[in-house]
């Protein structure tokens, strides 16, 4: 290609986000740089800084994309939409499926999510995830209880991830039942 001619590449921004997610998955947040992402995406370094001026901008895009998983699963769940379904049981089952599907992906999502502790630019995106998951639950419960359910599921997920413990669906259902005011075991 002649010098100075730009190649039309409409998917480049998305490839950069995907590459950032892979870099964080392989090397952690500390391994993320414009240079490492450019190499992973096979794009010129200038492309990463063109689309994402700062690393925080890139992390915001990566976190937003990573967040789509569980909130979407909650919103799309037919079992959760059915008022006759045991909500605690359905959530416990869904959480177990999410944790079992791709543990590495879940760890990556939490790494990006928890990066908001040190990177204030990520906090609104982390809050978006919590809000979206809670809103998906409000057809079945009040907003405060929905937020509490999301917080408990976050806690259960973190305990499983941080301790390498097996996910215990029965225990999760019992805890979620208590949040719903159903007492132990629901």
Q: What pLDDT, on a 0 to 100 scale, did the predictor assign at position 183?
A: 61
Find the mean pLDDT for residues 10-30: 91
Domain extents for the chain? 1-53, 63-179
Kindly state which CATH superfamily the domain 1-53 is placed in: Homeodomain-like (1.10.10.60)
Statement: the pTM of the whole predicted model exceeds 0.75:
yes
Return the exposure string of 62-80: e unless at least 16 CB atoms fall within 10 Å of the residue's CB, then b.
bbbbbbebbbebbeebeeb
* Fold classification of 63-179 (topology level): Tetracycline Repressor; domain 2 (1.10.357)
Q: Quick one: pLDDT at residue 182?
A: 80
The contacts of residue 159 (CB under 8 Å, 6+ apart) are 165
Alpha-carbon distance of 153 to 176, in angstroms, equals 8
Question: Could you give the angle at the alpha carbon of 183 between the alpha carbons of 180 and 186, nearest 5°?
Answer: 75
CB burial of 154-177 (b: ≥16 within 10 Å; e: otherwise) equals: bebbeebbeeeeebebeebbbbbb
pLDDT digits (tens, 9 = 90+) for 52-85: 999 999 999 988 888 776 777 777 888 788 888 9
**Residue 149, pLDDT score:** 96
pLDDT tier for residue 126 given thresholds of 50, 70 and 90: confident
**How high does pLDDT run on average in the chain?**
88
């Amino acid at each position: 290609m002649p010098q100075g001619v730009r190649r039309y590449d409409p998917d480049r921004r998305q490839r950069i986000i995907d590459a950032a997610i892979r870099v964080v998955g392989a090397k952690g947040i500390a391994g993320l740089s414009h240079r490492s992402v450019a190499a992973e995406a096979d794009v010129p370094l200038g492309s990463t800084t063109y689309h994402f001026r700062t690393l925080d901008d890139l992390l915001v895009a990566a976190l937003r994309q990573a967040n789509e998983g569980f909130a979407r699963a909650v919103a799309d769940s037919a079992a959760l939409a059915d008022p006759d379904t045991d909500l605690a049981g359905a959530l416990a089952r869904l959480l177990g499926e999410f944790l079992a599907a791709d543990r590495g992906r879940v760890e990556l999502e939490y790494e990006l999510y928890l990066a908001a502790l040190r990177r204030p630019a990520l906090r609104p995106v982390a809050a978006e995830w919590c809000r979206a998951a809670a809103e998906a639950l409000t057809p079945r419960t009040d907003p405060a209880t929905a937020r509490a359910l999301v917080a408990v599921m976050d806690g259960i997920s973190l305990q499983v991830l941080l301790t390498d413990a097996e996910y215990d669906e029965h225990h999760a259902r019992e805890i979620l039942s208590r949040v719903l005011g159903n007492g132990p075991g629901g």
